[in-house]
């Protein structure tokens, strides 16, 4: 296990059996985790080409603009998610899940089998957020039944 992964293990995490959801501390990714993050997010980044790239995602994580979450199965990274906290001028604060990617079937594991959505909701409340937005394809609708679809964004009030 790399030093960055050990530091990540000691940060904010949530686990359920063999699955763990870990929040990577700002600037703690290092080359190994950056490679895993890039590998898992490559397809998601390709889908929104022209709006972001992996370099920007990693830079925003290093500076604390966004958060990167790892879903681990044992010592293996199986999925990665990116969130950011947005404060609107009207006083509303939301946690936006902007992208996720992983090995086949891992998003289901990351979001639900290891309690990932529950942990993101807890994190959002800890940060003073009023709701969570999940941005993504319409296929998320079947995985997020207690969220309402707003355009192609799903929202849950906290």
Query: If pLDDT is split at 50, 70 and 90, which confidence band does 50 have?
Result: confident
* Order of all β-strands in the sheet with 93-102: 13-16, 19-24, 66-73, 76-87, 93-102, 131-135, 153-157, 148-150
Q: Is residue 101 pLDDT above 90, yes or no?
A: no
Q: Is residue 14 pLDDT above 60, yes or no?
A: no
Distance CA 71, CA 113 (A): 10
Query: If pLDDT is split at 50, 70 and 90, which confidence band does 150 have?
Result: low
Q: Is residue 134 pLDDT above 70, yes or no?
A: yes
Distance CA 133, CA 12 (A): 21
Mean pLDDT of 100-128: 81
Distance CA 3, CA 127 (A): 27
pLDDT of residue 25: 94
Mean pLDDT of 72-95: 93
Q: Is residue 16 pLDDT above 60, yes or no?
A: no
Kindly list the distances between the CA atom of residue 14 and the CA atoms of 18, 40, 116, in Å, as whole numbers in the listed order.
Answer: 11, 20, 8
Whole-structure pTM value: 0.80
Q: Is residue 7 pLDDT above 60, yes or no?
A: no
Please give the backbone phi and psi of residue 60, each rounded to the nearest 5 degrees, phi first: -65, -35
Please give the backbone phi and psi of residue 7, each rounded to the nearest 5 degrees, phi first: -60, -40
Distance CA 89, CA 86 (A): 10
Q: What does the domain layout of the chain look like in residue ranges?
A: 3-157
| Proportion of the chain above pLDDT 90, given as a percent | 43
Query: If pLDDT is split at 50, 70 and 90, which confidence band does 109 have?
Result: low
CATH number of 3-157: 3.40.630.30
Cβ atoms of 60 and 69 closer than 8 Å: no
Token look-up 């969570």 returns 132
């Amino acid at each position: 296990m790399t030093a960055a992964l050990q530091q990540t293990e000691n940060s904010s995490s949530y686990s359920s059996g063999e699955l763990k959801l870990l929040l990577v501390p700002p600037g703690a990714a290092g080359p190994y985790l950056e490679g895993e993050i890039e590998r898992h997010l490559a397809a998601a980044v390709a889908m929104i080409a022209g709006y972001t790239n992996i370099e920007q995602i990693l830079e925003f994580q290093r500076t604390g603009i966004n958060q990167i979450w790892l879903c681990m199965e044992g010592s293996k990274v199986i999925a990665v998610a990116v969130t950011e906290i947005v404060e609107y001028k009207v006083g509303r604060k939301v946690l936006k899940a902007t992208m996720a990617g992983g090995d086949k079937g891992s998003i289901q594991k990351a979001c639900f089998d290891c309690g990932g959505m529950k942990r993101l909701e807890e994190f959002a409340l800890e940060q003073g957020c009023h709701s969570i937005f999940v941005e993504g394809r319409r296929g998320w609708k079947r995985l997020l039944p207690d969220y309402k679809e707003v355009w192609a964004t799903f929202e849950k009030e906290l």
